[in-house]
A and B are shown apart, each in its own frame.
Chain A
Amino acid sequence: GGDSAAFEITKDTAPARGAVDTVTWSLYAEPQSLDYAYAFDYHPNTVLANVCEQLMRITPDLKVEPGLAAAAANPDPKRWVYTIRDGVKFHDGSALTADDVVASMRRHMDPKVGSYWVSVYQNVDKIEKTGPMEVTVHLKKPDQLFNEEMGTSAGTIESAASLAKEGYGTPDVGVDCTGPFSFESWQKGQSITFKKFADYWDMTLEPKVNTLKMVFIPDPAARVNALLAGEVDGGYLLPPPGFAKLRTATNGALYFGPNTTAVSLIPTDLKGTLGDVKVRRALSMALDRDGIIKAAAGGAGTPAKAPGAIGAWGIAPDAAKEYYAELPALTRDVAGAKKLVEEAGASGKKVVIATSTLSPDISVIANAVQSAGQAIGLKVELKAVAPEAYTALFSDPKAREGIDLVMTIWYDSTPDPLEFYGILRTGDFSNYGGYSNPEYDALVDEANAQADPAARAATVAKLQEIAVRDVVWIPLYEPPHTMFLNKRLTGAPTSISQLVYPWAARLGSAG
């Protein structure tokens, strides 16, 4: 508790006043590629958001708007028709056509490419050019979410000509998109530089920054110090241990912004000790969420009641609060939890939780879970997982063998809570525990066919209730999105939509 936990959400920063020549921005790692098909992680998306655009655009206040598609129509539940915006130019000067859109989208379905976004296309039957400036996506079954996903890298449009180039997306070749900034150079291991794109189509987002330089600073301490020293102008996703220092900075401010992220524990083996919902609930009851927030998140976070973040309800933010309020309160009750475990006959049973040096919060949470588990009579073991294997836990079922519990920081790309709750349906790739509930599955399909956001949200609320009741995931807390900005600048959005929205285009001088 205490004052360190007090934090305030800033929805946005003040609009920029004027132009600046150069902005240096910090990334916590070097993107391995600028190919949108592999842009799945925070840092490549933070870069690409300014360079490549999607069919749809997700705004800082988490709304889905038309992007490179001037219009998206859903003439029947199994068809999405995109009208391509006129007069859009690629960085090389060529004009955007339906061919580019088809080529960009089909890549995700090409096994040779191995796109990380393939699951967005799981319901797609085929993609066709239906006019010089029109593309139609035929679905196998209704998929509302698909259209929203077109605001993420799954909907990124790249010029067909550059996609055909050998070495597309690598430092030497770069990319050729339509965004407000164009790829200039990539100093391997150090930085990527972008230039303002003069022929950018969207006048409202005309960049005020001439040169945008993204530097890679993997070490958290180094990143914080560079910000404090003014060596870099800003950065997203700051390390919680640095919050205290960044808050007291005189040369800039630390912002906490809207987020779609929730930190949860995923029971990955619903056939093991955690197969019994009582045990899962007990563990959830035993956790010291406030302590965890303080130790792992630098105090910046709110205890979560549901695995899907309340921030992810962009399609119905107000209704979401009501739904959320109806969820049972999470109060810590170790004695009660212990009793539940005894009832379930799970006392002394083993639970294995993965831990890793990948980031400090993983180990802090793993340690906290261990101590909570021990307190209620479970035998919690930590299994150290190499940093590389930690990511594999989420993609490779084999890697999860022998592990009961995995900590995750899960964010939604779209402002639609269905994106998260959809993954808990039977057989979904990300349904790691193998949760299966026919009622739930039916609700998912129902929601995905509901074009009206409010109606869809209402259905998702039911999904949320079930997921919480069954403790499919154990929610921990919701952290805010973080950004530090030097006081000479302003305009950058604070919300997580910066991963898909051309945030740097709004950046400019403060004075």
Chain B
Amino acid sequence: MTAVPLQRRRLLAPLARIAGGDKLVTAALAVLAVLIVAAVFAPWIAPHDPDAVDLSATLSGSTPEHLLGADQSGRDVLSRLIFGARTGLLGPLVVVIVSTLLGMLIGVAAAWHGGVVDSVLSRAMELIFSFPALLLAIILVAVFGVGLTAPVIAMSVAYAPYVGRLARSVALQEKARPYIQAYKVQGWSGWVICVKHLLPNIAPLILAQSAINFGYALMDLAALSFLGFGVQPPTADWGAMINEGSPSLLQGAMLPALAPGVAIVITVVAFSIVGESIADRVARREQ
């Protein structure tokens, strides 16, 4: 039957167009699309209730009923994986949005004003920078207790200087470009120049960094859940699933821990491919 491949090609076509024809990037975009669909439509897609316990299926391997097997409590791993995409994507999304906005604001402000503003903001960034993100998250967890909130806040703050440094350096470069100076000479206010010209021009690079940061945030948050500090059971979350599933490895049941592990790796790879391709395109455009 030719209908199937045709269908598939039609589905992938818009992605391929966005990807600029690059197969790898198309694949990465497809992965992300699948993830987003899975996260949004989880209740409709998942074959089982992620929390449904079936003690007779405990640690069953892959069966037609449970494609990716069942965990220690007999819950369907695939369904949990699908639902896990929700916290898996939501946490990093918040982290990336907040840290990007914060970082851009700080970085561009520092670059644009220079002088005292720059040195104060740069010092502040350096200070936060000396707190590794996970450490900050762990401290906040120690103080405010486990859950997604404290880590997300901590990482939004801790990731901001990474964006901020980049934003500052590209904004400095961009600011020195004659076209920005031409706008100054035309009489535009600094505010308008920043918002209308400088930001849009540095945004793709920062977006690229943010896409890559998304992957890191996902890894960090999953690590926190793994340590038992992040998303709490019974909520299906990849990191928590690995934590819950790792004792089963002893019983030879790999899927409950390995499946979410692979999901994390694939997601992070997809995000970094997309991020790098954005950066590549910016670089090519610069030439």
Residues in chain A within 8 A of chain B (CB atoms): 220-221, 224, 239, 241-242, 244-245, 288, 291-292, 294-296, 355-357, 360, 363-364, 366-368, 370-371, 382, 384, 386-387
Q: Give the contact-size bracket for chain B.
A: 20 to 34
Q: Would you call A360 and B244 a contact (CB within 8 A)?
A: yes
Query: If A355-B234, A367-B75, A368-B73 touch, does A360 touch B247 (CB 8 Å cutoff)?
Result: yes
- Choice from A241, A295, A357 contacting B243 with Cβ under 8 Å: A357
Measured between beta carbons, the chain B residues less than 8 angstroms from A220 are 247, 250
Q: Chain B residue with minimal CB distance to A360?
A: B247
Q: Would you call B247 and A295 a contact (CB within 8 A)?
A: no
Q: Would you call B58 and A363 a contact (CB within 8 A)?
A: no
B195 on interface, CB distance cutoff 8 Å: no
Q: How far is the CA of A368 from the CA of B194 in the complex (A)?
A: 58
Q: How far is the CA of A366 from the CA of B55 in the complex (A)?
A: 12
Could you tell me which residues of chain B, from 226 to 283, have a CB within 8 Å of some CB in chain A?
228, 232-235, 240, 243-244, 246-252
Q: How far is the CA of A242 from the CA of B250 in the complex (A)?
A: 6
The 3 residue pairs across chains A and B that have the minimum distance between CB atoms:
A291-B55, A384-B232, A371-B53
Measured between beta carbons, the chain B residues less than 8 angstroms from A382 are 233-234
Q: Would you call A239 and B247 a contact (CB within 8 A)?
A: yes
Instruction: Show 16 residue pairs from A and B whose CB-CB distance is below 8 angstroms, ordered by the A residue.
Output: A241-B72, A241-B248, A241-B251, A245-B250, A288-B55, A294-B58, A295-B58, A295-B59, A295-B72, A360-B247, A363-B233, A364-B72, A367-B51, A368-B53, A368-B55, A386-B228
Q: How far is the CA of A357 from the CA of B243 in the complex (A)?
A: 8
**Whole-angstrom distance between the Cβ of A406 and the nearest chain B Cβ:** 15
**Whole-angstrom distance between the Cβ of A145 and the nearest chain B Cβ:** 36
Q: Chain B residue with minimal CB distance to A371?
A: B53
- Per-residue CB contact flags for chain B residues 141-167 toward chain A (1 = under 8 Å, else 0) read 000011000000000000000000000
Measured between beta carbons, the chain A residues less than 8 angstroms from B234 are 355, 363, 366-367, 370, 382, 384
Given contacts A221-B246, A295-B74, 11 further A-B contacts (CB under 8 A): A239-B250, A241-B72, A241-B250, A241-B251, A291-B56, A355-B234, A356-B233, A357-B244, A366-B234, A371-B51, A382-B234
Query: If A292-B55, A366-B234, A367-B73 touch, does A387 touch B228 (CB 8 Å cutoff)?
Result: yes
B52 on interface, CB distance cutoff 8 Å: yes
- Choice from A221, A288, A364 contacting B249 with Cβ under 8 Å: A221
Query: If A357-B228, A357-B243, A363-B73 touch, does A384 touch B250 (CB 8 Å cutoff)?
Result: no
Measured between beta carbons, the chain B residues less than 8 angstroms from A288 are 55
Measured between beta carbons, the chain A residues less than 8 angstroms from B246 are 221
Q: How far is the CA of A387 from the CA of B244 in the complex (A)?
A: 13
Q: Chain B residue with minimal CB distance to A357?
A: B228
- Per-residue CB contact flags for chain B residues 45-83 toward chain A (1 = under 8 Å, else 0) read 000000111111011000000000000111100000000
**Whole-angstrom distance between the Cβ of A493 and the nearest chain B Cβ:** 26
Q: How far is the CA of A239 from the CA of B247 in the complex (A)?
A: 9
Measured between beta carbons, the chain A residues less than 8 angstroms from B233 are 355-357, 363, 382, 384
Q: How far is the CA of A387 from the CA of B141 in the complex (A)?
A: 13
**Whole-angstrom distance between the Cβ of B268 and the nearest chain A Cβ:** 23
Q: How far is the CA of A288 from the CA of B58 in the complex (A)?
A: 13
Q: Chain B residue with minimal CB distance to A222?
A: B250
Q: How far is the CA of A291 from the CA of B73 in the complex (A)?
A: 9
- Per-residue CB contact flags for chain B residues 194-234 toward chain A (1 = under 8 Å, else 0) read 00000000000000000000000000000000001000111
Q: How far is the CA of A239 from the CA of B246 in the complex (A)?
A: 12
**Whole-angstrom distance between the Cβ of A352 and the nearest chain B Cβ:** 12
Measured between beta carbons, the chain A residues less than 8 angstroms from B58 are 291, 294-295
Q: Chain A residue with minimal CB distance to B56?
A: A291
**Whole-angstrom distance between the Cβ of B246 and the nearest chain A Cβ:** 7
- Choice from A224, A292, A370 contacting B250 with Cβ under 8 Å: A224
**Whole-angstrom distance between the Cβ of A291 and the nearest chain B Cβ:** 3
Q: How far is the CA of A366 from the CA of B75 in the complex (A)?
A: 13
- Choice from A292, A294, A363, A370 contacting B244 with Cβ under 8 Å: A363
Measured between beta carbons, the chain A residues less than 8 angstroms from B250 are 220-221, 224, 239, 241-242, 245
**Whole-angstrom distance between the Cβ of A344 and the nearest chain B Cβ:** 23
- Give the one of A221, A239, A241, A288 with max B CB within 10 A: A241
- Choice from B53, B55, B146, B249 contacting A294 with Cβ under 8 Å: B55
Q: Would you call A370 and B51 a contact (CB within 8 A)?
A: yes
Q: How far is the CA of A387 from the CA of B249 in the complex (A)?
A: 21
Q: Chain A residue with minimal CB distance to B251?
A: A241
Q: How far is the CA of A6 from the CA of B244 in the complex (A)?
A: 26
Q: How far is the CA of A37 from the CA of B5 in the complex (A)?
A: 72
Q: How far is the CA of A384 from the CA of B74 in the complex (A)?
A: 19
Q: Would you call A241 and B247 a contact (CB within 8 A)?
A: yes
**Whole-angstrom distance between the Cβ of A3 and the nearest chain B Cβ:** 15
Q: Would you call B73 and A295 a contact (CB within 8 A)?
A: yes
Q: Chain B residue with minimal CB distance to A221?
A: B250
Q: Would you call B247 and A364 a contact (CB within 8 A)?
A: no
Measured between beta carbons, the chain B residues less than 8 angstroms from A368 are 53, 55, 73
Q: How far is the CA of A135 from the CA of B40 in the complex (A)?
A: 71
Q: How far is the CA of A364 from the CA of B74 in the complex (A)?
A: 9
Measured between beta carbons, the chain B residues less than 8 angstroms from A241 are 72, 247-248, 250-251
- Choice from B73, B146, B243 contacting A364 with Cβ under 8 Å: B73
Measured between beta carbons, the chain A residues less than 8 angstroms from B249 are 221
Q: Would you call B52 and A371 a contact (CB within 8 A)?
A: yes
Q: Chain A residue with minimal CB distance to B235?
A: A384
Measured between beta carbons, the chain A residues less than 8 angstroms from B247 are 220-221, 239, 241, 360
Measured between beta carbons, the chain B residues less than 8 angstroms from A244 are 251-252
**Whole-angstrom distance between the Cβ of B227 and the nearest chain A Cβ:** 9
Q: Chain A residue with minimal CB distance to B227?
A: A357
**Whole-angstrom distance between the Cβ of B102 and the nearest chain A Cβ:** 29
Q: How far is the CA of A466 from the CA of B180 in the complex (A)?
A: 85
Q: Chain B residue with minimal CB distance to A293?
A: B55
Measured between beta carbons, the chain A residues less than 8 angstroms from B235 are 384
Measured between beta carbons, the chain B residues less than 8 angstroms from A355 are 233-234
Measured between beta carbons, the chain A residues less than 8 angstroms from B240 are 357
- Per-residue CB contact flags for chain B residues 113-149 toward chain A (1 = under 8 Å, else 0) read 0000000000000000000000000000000011000
Q: How far is the CA of A96 from the CA of B244 in the complex (A)?
A: 49
Q: Chain B residue with minimal CB distance to A358?
A: B228
**Whole-angstrom distance between the Cβ of A405 and the nearest chain B Cβ:** 14
Measured between beta carbons, the chain B residues less than 8 angstroms from A295 are 55, 58-59, 72-74
Q: How far is the CA of A292 from the CA of B51 in the complex (A)?
A: 16
Measured between beta carbons, the chain B residues less than 8 angstroms from A356 are 233
Q: How far is the CA of A357 from the CA of B73 in the complex (A)?
A: 13
Measured between beta carbons, the chain A residues less than 8 angstroms from B59 are 295
**Whole-angstrom distance between the Cβ of B15 and the nearest chain A Cβ:** 38
Q: How far is the CA of A369 from the CA of B247 in the complex (A)?
A: 21
**Whole-angstrom distance between the Cβ of B249 and the nearest chain A Cβ:** 6
Q: How far is the CA of A494 from the CA of B240 in the complex (A)?
A: 35
Q: How far is the CA of A242 from the CA of B248 in the complex (A)?
A: 9
Q: How far is the CA of A221 from the CA of B254 in the complex (A)?
A: 13
- Give the one of A244, A245, A356, A360 with max B CB within 10 A: A360
**Whole-angstrom distance between the Cβ of B121 and the nearest chain A Cβ:** 36
**Whole-angstrom distance between the Cβ of B254 and the nearest chain A Cβ:** 12
Q: Would you call A367 and B53 a contact (CB within 8 A)?
A: yes
- Choice from B52, B55, B146, B248 contacting A384 with Cβ under 8 Å: B146
